[in-house]
Amino acid sequence: MAGEQPTLGFIGLGTMGEPMCRNLAAKSKARVVCYDVRSEPMERLKDEGIEPAESIAQVANVADIIFLSLPGGDQLAEVAGEDGLLKHVRAGQTVVDHTTAPVALARELNEKFADISADFLDAPVARTRLAAIDGTLAIMVGGEEDAFQRIEPFLDCMGTNVTYCGASGNGQTTKLLNNMVLIQTVVAMADALAIGRRAGLDGDQLFKVMSDGSADSFALRHHGMLSMVTGEFPEHMFSTVYALKDLTYALELAREYRVEANQAKQAERLLRRAIDDGLGEAYFPVVYEIIEDRGE
């Protein structure tokens, strides 16, 4: 990137945040300061020239643009709220939130940062941890368009499909609806796999044939063929708990706009049952086991 570089901050170095921060630093060539409540990811990134900070306040004091990648809305409200970044951010700074969080919270934070002449953009990400590592995420952005144009080159360091979705909250709305459809698709595939296997079909062959037809999808080729068929539902991926969180946020939107979303409600019920069965930390396609074991 040409020209004088701003200093970048990155808060939240979890499953997605750590590789995103790594790509941001490597590709932008900017100074990056990072913070997480855990020291381990900061130590790993320090070895690659990314500076660890001692607090959220320290990141806010040195960074011109601050990126966030947090587990959910509760953490976002704490980190970005009145006792967090809002207390430390100054006029002219920009906060870019990659957390998947409630739309109402994104809009509220946008207004509060605007009151202190700072920009806040909701920019949740889609695709897998591997995409975060490879820098091939899809990023959906809501907020002021001029602010988006300023930060777009940095988003390009982390994703290959960066889309401006319009006003504040639109990035979150787009992401939540994306995940709602994904989760419903995974439940439909779980039904198909359970029926197919009970009817005597080979699950791997079933999904391969489906991938050559009109049922093909990213979900089929990844969540279905690489996880459901093999019975591999590792932790430290997009867990059942996180899937339920995102679906709950989507259903909040459905209620706000008076849409029944009956299929999403059925998916929510299955996710809750998987959590009740101790599968909350497993990769969320594990809902297949609930359907198969209980004949749901």
CATH assignment of the domain containing 279: 1.10.1040.10
Q: Is 3 part of any domain?
A: no
282 burial level (CB within 10 Å; 0-12, 13-18, 19+): buried
Tens of pLDDT, residues 41-98: 999 999 999 999 999 999 999 999 999 999 999 999 999 999 999 999 999 999 999 9
Q: Is 1 part of any domain?
A: no
Please indicate whether residue 265 is annotated as part of the active site: no
Helix (H) or strand (E) holding 150: helix 145-155
Q: Is 2 part of any domain?
A: no
Give the model's confidence band at 236: pLDDT under 50 very low, under 70 low, under 90 confident, else very high.
confident
Catalytic member of 27, 87, 175, 265? 175
pLDDT of residue 4: 78
Residues β-bridged to residue 162 = 139
For residue 144, what is the domain's CATH number? Answer: 3.40.50.720
pLDDT of residue 294: 67
Asked whether residue 141 falls in the same domain as residue 233, the answer is no
Task: Mark which of 167, 190, 225 sits at the end of a domain.
Answer: 167
pLDDT for residue 142 is more than 70: yes
CA–CA dist 251, 273 (Å, integer): 17
From residue 109, alpha-carbon distances to 98, 152, 217 in Å are 13, 20, 35
Asked whether residue 13 falls in the same domain as residue 63, the answer is yes
Q: Which residue has the tokens 């069965």?
A: 277
Considering the chain, what is the average pLDDT of its residues? 96
Q: What is the mean pLDDT of residues 182-190?
A: 98
Asked whether residue 157 falls in the same domain as residue 185, the answer is no
The tally of domains found in the chain comes to 2
CA 132 to chain centre: 10
Asked whether residue 99 falls in the same domain as residue 238, the answer is no
Q: What is the mean pLDDT of residues 273-283?
A: 97
Tens of pLDDT, residues 14-36: 999 999 999 999 999 999 999 99
pLDDT of residue 237: 86
Give the model's confidence band at 3: pLDDT under 50 very low, under 70 low, under 90 confident, else very high.
low
| Cβ contacts of 174 within 8 Å, gap of 6 or more | 124, 140, 142, 163, 165
67: left (phi over 0), alpha (psi -120 to 50) or beta: beta
How many CA atoms, within 13 angstroms, populate the side-chain half-sphere of residue 266? 13
CB-CB neighbours of 215 under 10 Å: 17
Q: What is the mean pLDDT of residues 233-261?
A: 96
